[in-house]
Amino acid sequence: MTTTLTRGRPGADTVRTRTPRRGGHLRRALARNLRAHAFLIGALLCFALFTWYPMVREIVMSFQKVRYGETHWVGFDNFRQIFADPEFWPAWRHTLEFTGIALFFGFVAPFVTALVINEFRHAQSYLRILVYLPVMLPPVAGILLFKYFMDPGYGLFNQILSFLHLPTSSWLASQDTAMFSLVIVSTWANMGSATLVYLAALQSIPGELYEAAELDGAGLLRRVWHVTVPQTRLILSLMLMLQVVATMQMFTESFVLTGGGPQGSTTTVVYMLYNYAFNFDKFNTAAALGVVLLLVLGAFSALYLWLERRGGEE
């Protein structure tokens, strides 16, 4: 609001109050916000179409059956069928086995790699590219490369072991080593992203903390345990949850390298879901198995968030 003085008759001043036009500002604000909301609505529509709709559709399909081209509601029959399947519990055991081994290597290896790269001062850019290179490769191409490396006869790994006069391995052809071989491939293919996340977290730690620890006589391991780990605890816990969710959905490595074998030793829950849908044409049963996996991962995520909130309050 602006006030102006105008002169009327001589000797008298007239005060006139001028109110700014609010319509112009309102129109400009609406136009600016409409453009921003248009981009936001587009992203939400894509997210709803390609994420939420398939999820809701899967839940609906898990309670249905298709007979002679007609859809019928069958309640929990699909869930009873998957629980009665003799491969159901072994698939969960294989999934948990893969998750446990993959977390041991896939959680520790990227963090240690990030610690080593962080110590370099002049070659970090090249090392970051080198570590992230497997992530940029097409997943199937990288996995097929390891299938050649792990061939029991002419594979590169066994040739190296023979050259070093060490016992060779059957790798993917043995029930004892097949799961461990899948963990090696998965860790190599996916550790690049986690390494860069850890490296960014390490570089955000104030250098004064390390200097104070060195003045107190702390060695490398003590500096990592008492400075690095506490300062990156939030990132470590978040990456732990994301890696658990990702490893429990392992499919590509098992599908390309072993086909669920040998003798079903690498058949995971997601691979079993694939068999239901595309080998047995039981899409409703596959949807029920997907809902079970969704509930398990949702329960784990809820437990993680509850523990994090409780730890933050303490």
- Specify the pLDDT at position 157: 92
- Specify the pLDDT at position 203: 87
- Specify the pLDDT at position 24: 67
List phi, psi (to 5°) of 90. -60, -35
175-232 residue pLDDT tens: 889 999 999 999 998 889 999 999 999 888 888 888 888 887 877 788 888 888 888 8
Quote the radius of gyration of the chain (alpha carbons, Å).
30
- Specify the pLDDT at position 248: 92
256: Cβ–Cβ under 8 A, 6 or more apart, which residues? 140, 143, 144, 147
| Packing angle, helices 139-149 and 156-163, rounded to 10 | 40
- CA-CA distances (angstroms) from residue 299 to 61, 108, 245, 267? 21, 25, 11, 23
- Specify the pLDDT at position 81: 93
CA 131 to chain CA centroid, nearest Å: 18
Residue ranges in the chain whose pLDDT is less than 50? 2, 4-6, 8, 11-12, 14-15
